[in-house]
């Protein structure tokens, strides 16, 4: 039954009332004429192989929206839905007459806000991992006692102070070369790469790529593909200390050694002078012991030679 017929019937009380099925068909036809773009947080996901549709639910502060999407169309979008993810949908409302239930039929889906950034980073991670750029055997070993340490970071952030303070405390003999660069903004990856080149020209033995904590968006320069490839090509080992403990960027994954913080990165490339002195004492004692054993062995050999007749009877 057409909507115009319904309007005509509503104006005429003497007309025969609609059946349930007819009323639902009218509602379904009206709903499907309206195409909408919807933004919300995923609260429930039910995507199983063999199902004709992918089912999930979006929510905001006051409402929930049951959604479904043809399974083949959902697979083509390349998105793995997770609870808590913000997504943007394009689709229309529809209605299942047999159950009288309304749902949102999804045509297209994309990750919104921070979720979109995370999706982009995940795709880049899979790409670089497939190329073998994160393989442990590719990574350059960090020297045990580097005397020339390069630091690429903001000259005004807390990270550089953490690195300098830690290095002075643990191994003041080391020389620190600082390449001050922006670590936020669209051109930050470009400046960071140039800072690494400056460290290479200074012939440092190891490069610390560090910055303090921040939001996911703040750390995005360290998820840049060109920066990742520059780290991989760098002949000098690169140690990262980006953000806080839970933060992991693409630079961390392709770097030669990852520390959880800038302080941790400085600790990873330095040794405590007291620890070094203890190692030297231990090594010295070991050498003295071995030398004493050799002297004792030589003395015993000499004594045995002295007892032979050729040395005792002229």
Q: In this structure, are 245 and 307 located in the same domain?
A: no
Angle at 139 between CA 136 and CA 141, to 5 degrees: 115
Last residue of a domain, one of 252, 268, 284: 268
pLDDT band at 207 (very low <50, low <70, confident <90, very high): very high
Q: In this structure, are 264 and 277 located in the same domain?
A: no
Number of domains in the chain: 3
- 174-201: per-residue pLDDT in tens? 999 999 999 998 899 999 999 999 999 9
The residue behind tokens 């409402």 is: 63
Is the torsion defined by CA of 289, 293, 294, 296 positive or negative? positive
**pLDDT for the residue 270:** 93
Segments forming the whole domain that contains residue 93: 32-117
Q: Enumerate residues 6+ apart whose C-beta is below 8 A from 119.
A: 79, 111
Is the torsion defined by CA of 208, 166, 211, 87 positive or negative? positive
- Estimate to the nearest angstrom the gap between the alpha carbon of 94 and the chain centroid: 39
pLDDT band at 107 (very low <50, low <70, confident <90, very high): very high
Q: In this structure, are 278 and 252 located in the same domain?
A: no
- Whether the pLDDT of residue 255 is over 70: the answer is yes
The predicted model scores a pTM of 0.60
- 16-73: per-residue pLDDT in tens? 788 888 888 888 888 888 889 998 889 999 988 888 899 999 998 889 999 999 999 9
Q: Supply the CATH number for residue 158's domain.
A: 3.40.50.2300
Q: In this structure, are 104 and 195 located in the same domain?
A: no
| CA–CA dist 177, 192 (Å, integer) | 14
Q: In this structure, are 207 and 224 located in the same domain?
A: yes
pLDDT band at 13 (very low <50, low <70, confident <90, very high): very low
Q: Which of 54, 76, 79 is nearest to 66 (CA)?
A: 54
Q: In this structure, are 258 and 150 located in the same domain?
A: yes
Q: In this structure, are 228 and 303 located in the same domain?
A: no
Residue 15 lies in a domain: no
Mean pLDDT, residues 154-173 taken together: 93
Q: Max alpha carbon distance in the chain (Å)?
A: 150
The more confident residue out of 113 and 257 is: 257
Q: Supply the CATH number for residue 109's domain.
A: 2.40.50.140
């Amino acid at each position: 039954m057409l909507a115009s017929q319904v309007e005509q019937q509503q104006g005429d009380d003497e007309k025969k009332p609609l059946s349930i099925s007819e009323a639902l068909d009218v509602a379904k036809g009206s709903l499907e004429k309206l195409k909408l773009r919807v933004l919300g947080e995923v609260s429930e996901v039910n995507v199983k192989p063999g199902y004709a549709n992918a089912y999930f639910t979006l929510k905001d502060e006051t409402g929930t929206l049951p959604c479904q999407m043809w399974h083949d169309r959902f697979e083509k979008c390349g998105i793995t839905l997770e609870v808590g993810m913000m997504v943007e949908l394009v689709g229309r409302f529809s209605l299942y007459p047999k159950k009288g239930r309304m749902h949102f039929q999804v045509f297209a889906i994309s990750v919104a806000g921070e979720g979109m950034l995370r999706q982009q980073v995940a795709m880049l991670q899979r790409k670089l991992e497939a190329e073998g750029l994160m393989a442990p055997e590719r990574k350059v070993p960090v020297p045990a006692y580097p005397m020339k340490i390069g630091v690429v970071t903001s000259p005004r952030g807390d990270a550089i102070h953490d690195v300098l303070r830690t290095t002075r405390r643990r191994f003041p003999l080391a020389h620190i070369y600082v390449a001050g660069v922006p670590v936020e903004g669209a051109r930050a990856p470009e400046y960071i790469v140039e800072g690494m080149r400056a460290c290479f020209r200074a012939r440092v033995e190891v490069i610390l790529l560090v910055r303090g904590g921040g939001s996911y968006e703040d750390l995005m320069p360290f998820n840049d593909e060109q920066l990742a490839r520059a780290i991989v090509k760098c002949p000098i080992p690169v140690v990262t200390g980006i953000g806080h403990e839970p933060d992991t960027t693409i630079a961390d994954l392709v770097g030669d050694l990852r520390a959880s913080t800038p302080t941790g990165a400085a600790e990873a490339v330095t040794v405590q002078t007291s620890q070094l002195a203890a190692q030297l004492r231990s090594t010295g004692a070991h050498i003295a012991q071995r030398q004493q054993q050799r002297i004792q062995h030589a003395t015993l050999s000499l004594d045995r030679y002295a007892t032979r007749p050729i040395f005792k009877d002229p």
